[in-house]
Chains A and B, each alone.
Chain A
Amino acid sequence: MDDFRSGVERHRPYLLRYASLQLRDKDAAEDAVQETLLAALANESGFGGRSNLRTWLTGILKHKIIDHIRRSAREIALGADEETSDFDALFDSRGHWIEMPAAWSDPDASLAQQQFYAKLEECLARLPAKTARTFMMREHLGCETGEICKELGLTPTHCWVLLHRARMSLRECLQANWFGK
């Protein structure tokens, strides 16, 4: 009984980090984690003999995060991201690259470096709120675009534009601050 409780509690830091990456708000992340731990403790039998406690907890947390996003979707919609001229800075009028993306040498080696993740987080922090939220729902929470559209009240096309914009700006940011150095 207490083993389960302390087992669950041990994952709190991981869960908090997981929630913070998506919500970008310490209080909201702590609420979501707290709700997750309470739900987990109230439903020990739900875990059953499953192999990985953290995976199970993360699954519960995902739902709590999406609940939070749903509740706050209206506020975010009000502060809509500026609809900047789409990628006009990257391509000329004929749709050719102004500056062609260079190859990154052995990018997977960066995945083992702590400083790389710090840079990546800096780059994420520069994204406008709605763009970041959409992108992280897709790549961090692993939601399908249909679900993201529904929760954020976006059309699929708008959703794809935001995802594309996020990827292009992260690519550029990592090029400038990490791979191009």
Chain B
Amino acid sequence: MIITCKEATRLASQGLDRKLGFLDRVALRLHLAICKGCTNAARQMEFLRRAITRLGEDADERGALRR
């Protein structure tokens, strides 16, 4: 169940593209619970998804969407 940061970021990325298996999910969650660096990286990869979604929009729409 102990995985490296390299492995954890790989799983965090794959988790955005497919449903991870049970063991992978547990291993990732355990790792993220103790690793700030990977937690940051995982959040930033999710943020990238939100940012790309907005990339094609016009400036006013982005303004309107922001609460």
Contacts and interface: CB of A to CB of B under 8 A. Distances in A.
Interface of A: 14, 17-18, 21, 87, 90-91, 94-97, 100-104, 107-108, 110-112, 114, 116-117, 120-121, 136, 138-140, 145, 159-160, 163-164, 167-168, 170-171, 174
Tell me the dominant secondary structure on chain B's binding face: helix
Interface in B29-58: 36-38, 40-41, 43-45, 47-56, 58
Interface residues of B, number: 34
B55 A117 contact: yes
Contacts of B41: 101, 168, 171
A159 B53 CA distance: 20
A100 B44 contact: no
Interface of B: 4-7, 9-10, 13-14, 16-18, 36-38, 40-41, 43-45, 47-56, 58-59, 62-63, 66
Tell me the dominant secondary structure on chain A's binding face: helix
B17 A101 contact: no
A140 B6 contact: no
Contact of B40 (A14, A87, A102, A160): A102
B40 to A, nearest CB: 4
B59 A114 contact: yes
Nearest to A161: B10
A140 B50 CA distance: 10
